[in-house]
Copies of this chain bind each other. A is one copy, B any other.
Amino acid sequence: MFVFDRPVRFADVDAARIVFFARFLEYCHDALEALFAPLEGGYAAMINRRDLGVPSVRVEVDYRAPLRYGDTARVETRVERVGRTSIVFVHTLRRLADSVECAVVRQVVVTTTLSTLRPVPVPDDLRALLEG
Contact = CB atoms under 8 A, between A and B. Distances in A.
A22 B13 contact: no
B13 A55 contact: no
Contacts of A64: 57
A86 to B, nearest CB: 12
In this complex, the member of A10, A25, A44, A64 whose beta carbon has the largest number of chain B beta carbons within 10 angstroms is A10
Contact of A59 (B16, B53, B57, B59): B59
Contacts of A30: 9
A70 B41 CA distance: 9
Interface residues of A, number: 41
Contacts of A9: 30, 33
Given A10-B43, A117-B66, A55 B15 contact: no
Contact of A114 (B16, B25, B44, B57): B16
A44 B68 CA distance: 10
Interface of A: 9-11, 13-18, 20-23, 25-26, 29-30, 33, 41, 43-45, 47-48, 53, 55-64, 66, 68-70, 114, 117
